[in-house]
């Protein structure tokens, strides 16, 4: 029997014990937070509502991406948009949602919430009203082999989750600008800015008049003021040259850290899977769930990949060398204790 991946929402990050000192379970930029973004957030006017239409913000985001402002959809977070567009598709008469073989759990949770049947690769996506793609993929950080096919397909709505594109450390995007204009693009810069606690996202609609009905449904389904002033400050800063320069510099450091982290994991007897992002998956030499409590007591947290359909694997965000060393020491102690 196939396990129900939507039974409980599984996430990395803080838990009932707080934030782990060495938290490999999330994929935010470990160099962050971005100083210019922090300054902007601190200076944000929290005493007043933002513009409910986000006119200036949408214009700024549109210029950053060289698209029309009418194509920008502001969202409270990626997860909020995932649920909202799933609702909009269901309202429009859609029946099925297609998912990659391994993917972020909220895609399926949103489909289930709105009574949409989930089809998972390698099943055909031909009949799906909504298709989810992600590159670099979650949880594996790899290229999506059939992404060009999805971009060129005219059946259903395709959303490309670009959460990790700004944190790409290797490889290149499968789609060019023209192909991206054929799909919905979902952007969540808080990861790249090292500020995942600030919830803010936006989507870019495909270029074409046929998107108007869906845009109208998304607008009707949106809560008032999905972003507060702090989320606005983050997205405005994200589009600026200073933040982009900081991000480019941080990627150089992350590449070096990633190489060291993969080598360390392999020294522990783990099998590391290829990844283009600031994270990777690995099959551990011992089952992670049996070691999790001891590791957490040592300040270490990894992301168990069973909920992604990858039992026996963990996902590790790239962290600094001192955290990597702490992981090695804690894993070695846990293994020695288990042997004893």
CB 287 within 8 A of CB 37: no
Give the domains, in start order, of the chain with CATH numbers. Answer: 23-30+243-339 (3.90.1150.10), 35-240 (3.40.640.10)
Residue 106 has pLDDT above 50, yes or no: yes
Confidence of residue 13 (pLDDT cuts 50, 70, 90): confident
Q: How far is CA 265 from CA 141, 166, 271, 281, 283, in A?
A: 17, 25, 8, 10, 10
pLDDT at 6: 45
A 10 A CB-CB count for 124 gives 9
CB 195 within 8 A of CB 38: yes
Residue 261 parent element (H or E): helix 241-267
| Cβ density class 254-274: b for 16+ within 10 Å, e for less | beebbeebbebbeeeebebbe
* 292-336 pLDDT per residue, tens: 999 999 999 999 999 898 999 999 999 999 999 999 999 998 877
* 172-195 pLDDT per residue, tens: 999 999 999 999 999 999 999 999
* 52-70 pLDDT per residue, tens: 999 999 999 999 999 999 9
Flag the least confident range among 12-26, 80-94, 186-200: 12-26
* 191-226 pLDDT per residue, tens: 999 999 999 999 999 998 789 999 999 999 999 999
CA nearest neighbour of 25 among 332, 335, 320, 316: 316
């Amino acid at each position: 029997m196939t396990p129900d991946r939507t039974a409980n929402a599984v996430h990395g990050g803080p838990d009932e014990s707080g934030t782990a000192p060495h938290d490999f379970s999330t994929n935010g930029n470990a160099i962050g937070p971005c100083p210019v973004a922090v300054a902007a957030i601190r200076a944000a006017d929290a005493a007043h509502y933002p513009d409910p239409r986000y006119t200036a913000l949408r214009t700024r985001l549109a210029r950053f991406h060289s698209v029309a402002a009418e194509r920008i959809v502001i969202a409270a977070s990626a997860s909020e948009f995932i649920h909202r567009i799933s609702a909009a598709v269901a309202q429009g008469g859609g029946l099925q949602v297609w998912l990659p073989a391994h993917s972020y759990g909220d895609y399926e949770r949103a489909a289930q919430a709105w009574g949409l049947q989930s089809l998972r690769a390698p099943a055909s996506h031909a009949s799906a009203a909504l298709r989810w793609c992600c590159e670099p993929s979650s949880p594996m950080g790899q290229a999506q082999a059939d992404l060009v096919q999805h971009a060129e397909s005219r059946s259903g709505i395709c959303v490309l989750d670009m959460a990790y594109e700004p944190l790409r450390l290797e490889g290149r995007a499968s789609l060019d600008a023209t192909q991206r204009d054929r799909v919905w693009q979902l952007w969540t810069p808080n990861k790249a800015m090292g500020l995942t606690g600030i919830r803010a996202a936006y989507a870019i609609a495909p270029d074409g008049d046929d998107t108007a009905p869906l845009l109208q449904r998304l607008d009707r389904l949106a809560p008032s003021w999905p972003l507060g002033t702090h989320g606005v400050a983050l997205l405005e800063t994200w589009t600026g040259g200073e933040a982009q320069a900081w991000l480019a510099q941080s990627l150089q450091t992350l590449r070096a850290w990633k190489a060291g982290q993969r080598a360390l994991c392999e020294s522990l007897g783990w099998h590391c899977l290829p990844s283009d992002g600031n994270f990777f998956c690995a099959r551990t030499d011992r089952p992670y769930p049996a070691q999790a409590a001891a590791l957490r007591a040592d300040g270490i947290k990894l992301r168990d990949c069973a909920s992604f359909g990858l039992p026996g694997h963990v996902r590790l965000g790239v962290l600094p060398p001192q955290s990597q060393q702490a992981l090695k020491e804690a894993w070695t102690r846990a293994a020695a204790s288990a042997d004893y």
